[in-house]
Amino acid sequence: MSSLDDHCGGGPSLQIGPYRRDSTVIVAPMAGVTDRPFRDLVRSFGAEWLVSEMVTSDPALWGTRKSLNRMRFIDEGEPRWVQIAGGDAQMLAHAAQVNIGLGAQIIDINMGCPAKKVCNKAAGSALLRDERLVAEILDAVVGAAGAVPVTLKIRTGWSREQRNAERVARIAESAGVALLTVHGRTREDRFAGPVDYDAIGRVKAAVSIPVIANGDITDSATAQRVLALTECDGVMVGRAVNGRPWLIRQLTEVLAGKKITPEPNSGEIKQVLIAHITGLAQFYGEDSGVRIARKHVGWYLREQQVPRDFLKGFNTLTGLAAQVEAINQMPSHESVAA
């Protein structure tokens, strides 16, 4: 069972199964982003709750390099929260057991991804169109997971005409799901248009399990407003943390009524960048790590007053040493305040 409360005067806390932390801020699973190096880095800034990249439930794909990398989490910080995706109840149940065997301590089921390649396989948010299948999947995975808590991530529905998040939430509660995250858009909306926080609030009111609000939470003011509006038990932050791994710590501090740690200065950001790209090269191998680093560096520099030509030149570099040297030589400007 999961719960949120204030304990020991330390501010709000969240509990999922046996795992309890003094934070109600969760890093969202993002394909191609929340890999092991990224999770390690965000943890170094005090993040307590992080969900892995989506792992396919199809055993035929587990031998691919992408899946092998996504299923390497046995020695990382706790709790190890792993998201699985698919459209077949028994395959998802088996995937849950396999990932638990590899060290997963919380299993999250993806019913929120709007990507065509996922929805075309009747997975992700496509599942919301079939509530009977939703129930079958949740019953199977919760049963297979045993003592390991199972969480669920959804959207408000398939389309604006087919919104059923409250019904799906009740199905999840009945199945024994420990926590529910709701992105306040439909699959049809993808990531465009306003987030329907009122709809998230209705889901929260419909069930007694913890509900987490997700969608366009980019700063402390938004996080506070969303929690006040929805009365949810926490927030999940996605794209806003790209290039700002310290954001989760700042949000946690705000929600706990503590003084916010200042944004890092340009010199500190350089050291964070170097640590991140070095971790990518070590995890993926230098050739792949160097290529993956380019998008992350772009996100960091998006927040900084760095000439565009620098990033253009950086993206032509082919070795880690050259990338590190470029970052060390990067023009120094103080970070733009959030």
**The domains spanning 3-255 and 266-328 adopt the same CATH topology:** no
Quick check: is 113 catalytic?
yes
Alpha helices in the chain (DSSP H): 36-44, 65-70, 89-101, 116-119, 131-145, 165-175, 197-206, 220-230, 247-255, 266-284, 286-302, 308-314, 320-328
Per-residue pLDDT of the chain (338 residues; tens, 9 = 90+): 344 444 334 579 999 999 999 999 999 999 999 999 999 999 999 999 999 999 999 999 999 999 999 999 989 999 999 999 999 999 999 999 999 999 999 999 999 776 555 544 556 668 888 999 999 999 999 999 999 999 999 999 876 777 899 999 999 999 999 999 999 998 777 777 899 999 999 999 999 999 999 999 999 999 999 999 999 999 999 999 999 999 999 999 999 999 999 989 989 999 999 999 999 999 999 999 999 999 999 999 887 778 889 999 999 999 999 999 999 998 875 433 33
Closest CA to 29 of 84, 74, 73: 84
> Which fold, 266-328?
1.10.1200
Closest CA to 150 of 132, 125, 171, 130: 171
Which residues are CB-contacts of 195 (< 8 A; sequence separation ≥ 6)?
183, 184, 185, 215, 216
Q: Residue 116 has what pLDDT?
A: 53
User: 70 is written with which tokens?
Assistant: 């996504």
Task: Note the pTM of the prediction, 2 decimals.
Answer: 0.91
CATH superfamily of 3-255: Aldolase class I (3.20.20.70)
Bond before 79 cis per omega within 30 degrees: yes
Distances (CA, A) of 106 to 111, 112, 268, 324: 16, 17, 33, 36
Q: Residue 122 has what pLDDT?
A: 54
> Using CA atoms, how far apart are residues 108 and 168, in angstroms rounded to an integer?
15
Q: Domain boundaries in the chain?
A: 3-255, 266-328
Q: Residue 159 has what pLDDT?
A: 64
Distances (CA, A) of 284 to 111, 248, 276, 301: 28, 25, 12, 23
Angle between helices 131-145 and 165-175 (to 10 degrees): 30
Q: By the 8 A CB rule, do 52 and 29 touch?
A: yes
Q: Residue 98 has what pLDDT?
A: 97
- Residue 149 — φ and ψ, nearest 5°? -65, 145
> Using CA atoms, how far apart are residues 274 and 281, in angstroms rounded to an integer?
11
Q: Residue 2 has what pLDDT?
A: 40
